């Protein structure tokens, strides 16, 4: 008789999973806020104590998202330490639009075969993102699913919870005619439009991922894997200084698709095209793919990753805040 069938022979290595948990525990603990009740990860659930004395009517705000097909770029480059930043950013930037301070984060990582080394790189990115957002990574799930994913591939999703006082919820209802929109710069594509980009550069064989692009100052792969910006610090620096009437995270749909989501019924926004620098990667995509300007605007953020709506009297004060000012524009742009 042959050897007996085991779970490991079927493709699931429980010992590797335990090694993975031990490997990531120290870095995950670095994200713990004082409100985290559990001392470590690996329990069946995670506990987080809400400081109810800090809020009159605390409201929890939640959001979930993934990284999308940007993961395919990580697979091609075999570089996995930044997609976790994207994951946190996509979730916390969304809940931030309600004025919520991110409290904690959970992740879901599924792989065909668990590699504790690769999975640890992914978690390192999530930890980086959580520290940038000021929230705690308090739990998650790592699923080993043999036969479900192609060799070396995985999927990644996340879930964030934040908190805001009911009277301080930001929902756009206070927006009035004459208010201004402040655009905060993106860091490139962020995590949207990658199905179009992959179709253009890889499926149509336009460029190799390792091709150096002089105008951009990096290889195509490096630019496409640039992590999504997290806007929590920008908001936290402003929220007690001025009234923020509305905020939008510029993701799929671009500026035309996302700003209307926060405007009161009957309102529209007047956007001055050319009033902000556009990262060169967008012009490169537009030219290489012969893509219309309309298609570009509804697919990509075009250099604006987040917007805030303020009374015009507060606009100058807002852009002089150091952290906001640093994000208004950055390197690798064209006017």
**Residues 293-315 pLDDT 10s:** 999 999 999 999 999 999 999 98
Tell me if 47 sits within 8 A of 33, measured CB to CB: no
Residue 180 is predicted with a pLDDT of 93
Residues of the chain with pLDDT > 70, as a percent, come to 94
Q: What are phi and psi of 115, to 5 degrees?
A: -115, 110
Q: What is the mean pLDDT of residues 115-138?
A: 96
Task: Output the pLDDT for position 326.
Answer: 62
- Cα separation, 246 vs 204, in Å, equals 40
Assign domain 14-168 to a CATH class.
alpha beta
Which H, E and C letters describe the chain, residue by residue?
A: CCCCCCCCCCCCCHHHHHHHHHHHHHHHHCCCCCCECCCCCCCCCCCECCCHHHCCCEEEEEEEEECHHHHHHHHHHCCCCCHHHHHHHHHHHHHHCCCCEEEEEEEEEEECCCCHHHHHHHHHHHHHHHHHHCCEEEEEEEEECCCCCCCCCEEEEEEEEEEEEHHHCCCCCCCCCCCEEEEEECCCCCCCCHHHHHHHHHHCCCCCCCCEECCCCEEHHHHHCCCCCCCHHHHHHHCCCCCCCEEEECCCCHHHHHHHHHCCCCCCCCCCCCCCCEEHHHHHHHHHHCCCHHHHHHHCCCCEEEEEEECHHHHHHHHHCHHHHHHHCCCCEEC
Is there a contact between 297 and 256 (Cβ–Cβ < 8 Å)?
yes
| pLDDT bracket for residue 191 (50, 70, 90) | very high
Q: Is the pLDDT of residue 93 over 50?
A: yes
Average pLDDT over residues 156-161: 98
* pLDDT at residue 131, rounded to an integer: 97
Average pLDDT, integer, range 122-126: 97
Mean pLDDT of 210-234: 94
For the chain, the domains span 14-168, 180-334
Mention the CATH class of domain 180-334: alpha beta
Is pLDDT at 332 greater than 50 in this prediction?
no
Confidence of residue 56 (pLDDT cuts 50, 70, 90): very high
Distances from the Cα of 20 to the Cα of 80, 180, 192, 236, 294, angstroms: 15, 48, 30, 34, 46
Range with the poorest average pLDDT among 21-35, 85-99, 164-178, 186-200:
21-35
Q: How confident is the model at residue 38 (pLDDT cuts 50, 70, 90)?
A: confident
Q: Return the pLDDT at 176.
A: 95
Residue 243 pLDDT grade (very low, low, confident, very high; cuts 50, 70, 90): very high
Neighbouring-strand partners of residue 154: 111
Q: Read off the pLDDT of each residue in 277-284 and give the average, rounded to a whole number.
A: 93
Q: For residue 16, is pLDDT > 90?
A: no
Mean pLDDT, the chain, as a whole number?
90
Residue 24: its pLDDT value, please? 85
Q: pLDDT tier at 334 (50, 70, 90 boundaries)?
A: very low
Confidence of residue 203 (pLDDT cuts 50, 70, 90): confident
Report pLDDT digits (tens) over 253-262: 999 999 999 9
Work out the pLDDT band at 335, boundaries 50, 70, 90: very low
Q: Is the pLDDT of residue 1 over 60?
A: no
**pLDDT value at position 299?**
96
d(CA 123, CA 137) in angstroms, rounded, equals 10
Output the pLDDT for position 333.
Answer: 37
Place of tokens 């009374």: 311
């Amino acid at each position: 008789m042959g050897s007996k069938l085991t779970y490991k022979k079927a493709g699931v290595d429980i010992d590797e999973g335990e090694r993975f948990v031990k490997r990531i525990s120290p870095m995950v603990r670095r994200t713990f806020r004082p409100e985290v009740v559990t001392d470590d990860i690996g329990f069946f659930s995670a506990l987080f104590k809400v400081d109810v004395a800090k809020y009159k009517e605390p409201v929890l705000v939640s959001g979930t998202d993934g990284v999308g097909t940007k993961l395919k770029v990580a697979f091609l480059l075999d570089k996995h330490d930044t997609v976790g930043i994207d994951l946190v950013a996509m979730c916390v930037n969304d809940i931030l639009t309600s004025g919520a301070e991110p409290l904690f984060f959970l992740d879901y990582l599924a792989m065909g075969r668990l590699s504790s080394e690769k999975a640890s790189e992914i978690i390192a990115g999530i930890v980086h993102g959580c520290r940038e957002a000021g929230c705690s990574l308090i739990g998650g799930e790592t699923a080993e699913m043999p036969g479900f994913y192609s060799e070396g591939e995985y999927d990644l999703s996340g879930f964030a919870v934040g908190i805001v006082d009911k009277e301080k919820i930001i929902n756009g209802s206070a927006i009035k005619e004459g208010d201004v929109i402040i655009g905060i710069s993106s860091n490139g594509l962020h995590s949207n439009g990658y199905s179009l980009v992959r179709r253009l550069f890889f499926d149509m064989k336009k460029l190799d991922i390792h091709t150096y692009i002089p105008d951009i100052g990096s290889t195509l792969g490096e630019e496409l894997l640039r992590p999504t910006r997290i806007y929590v610090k920008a908001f936290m620096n402003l929220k007690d200084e001025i009234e923020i009437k509305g905020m939008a995270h510029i993701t799929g749909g671009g500026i035309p698709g996302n700003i209307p989501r926060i405007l009161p019924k009957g309102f529209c926004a007047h956007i001055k095209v050319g009033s902000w620098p556009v990262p060169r990667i967008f012009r490169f995509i537009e030219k290489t793919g012969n893509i219309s300007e309309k298609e570009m605007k509804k697919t990509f953020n075009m250099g604006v990753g987040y917007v805030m709506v303020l009374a015009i009297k507060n606009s100058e004060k807002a852009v002089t805040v150091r952290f906001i000012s640093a994000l208004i524009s950055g390197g690798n742009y064209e006017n």
